[in-house]
Structure 1
Amino acid sequence: MAGAAAGVPAVVRWYWQMERALRRDEATLHSSIGVTGAVWAMRRALWAPLPPQVILDDLYTPMRLVLDGHRIAVSAEAVAHEQRAPARAAEFQRKVRTLTGVFQVCAFLPGVLQLRRNPVWAQFVAHKLLRLTTPWLVLAGGAGAALAVAGVVWAWQGAAGLAGGALLLAGMTLLRPVRAIAIQLVDALHLQFAALRAAHNAARGRWDVWR
């Protein structure tokens, strides 16, 4: 995916920069974990019909091919241009949909979770599954920090946190640089909430997430 369109949140741009680098490195080792839906190709003979309600055909099909013994390469010459600049609400829904799709791939292709069957098991876990755990890791880190600074230190930290929060809220309307940082923090939190929503969808077996 070529450079992001103007107006796309910085967190999203950073995400795609890291995503492209990860896919290149993964393909160097064995196979890219997923492809860009806008620009990818495969041999006609390897095509198979998609299961009903599949969400991420650009993850499901590549992983099916990997489990069948094929490799997924990355071509630096293949470029797709995104002209739209989706609103933050639309980007949140997209993340919910794609993360729900990761859960779905694990349900539809259980072989991706099996070390003996999946030659890119470590890459799949690191690239896709750990992403689903980030909200819980953030919560665990916050709980650990709270326990570590219990007592007087916790009181001082709480006061500092309240003061910092007040300054942050003021800065959102008074200081453009601080407001920009606050917006990026909100975008990062949206990514965590998207993962939680995706886990809820998967727990209910709710795959109809296109509406």
Structure 2
Amino acid sequence: MSFRIDYFFAPVSPWTYLGHARFADLARQEGATIRLMPMDLGRVFPVSGGLPLAKRAPQRQAYRLLELKRFADYLGMPLNPQPKHFPVPADEAARLIIACDQHDGTAAAMRLTGALLAATWVQERDISDPAVLSAVLQENGLPTERLDQSREESVMQRYDENTREAIDTGVFGAPSYVFDGEIFWGQDRLELLAHRLRSNRNHKEKANG
């Protein structure tokens, strides 16, 4: 019995970083298929009421930093809440993940996603820099030609489609995990997603009797 989870995220999101490995573990434990959906938050925010970080109220910015430190400590994960290279444009990194997904499969693309997230939030590298992207590919045993392929029309089209689907689905932030049309926003909703997956599985098992 297999379930599919649509994984909407941005590769510069600290919350995506904090939840990525746990989400991958959850999907593996539950036998769920992941559909990788890197999206352009710059297009999602204007239609969903979201604001770029710099435009948020000072109180919200301060609380965000507190929460990042709090969750990193709680999860035992390294994180620099104010890295040198943030914010930076995420489009190239997002398209690189898509190219990897197309050519190397979801497992490789998930591994690359984790590496790109850590590059920003742990290693303080600039993932808008093609040289950094090329290095991350090599570090993860992936061909550097994926960088050229990430600029192909099919990849750009899928990035656009992912973003439009995010908007149409009602996604408004990263990460968002969508199962059976139900949105779970934020890495702190992973336990609720796990509960939903298990409830769905139990229901189907009983129905099949």
TM-score class, shorter-chain normalisation, is under 0.3
Identify, as 1 or 2, the structure richer in helix.
1
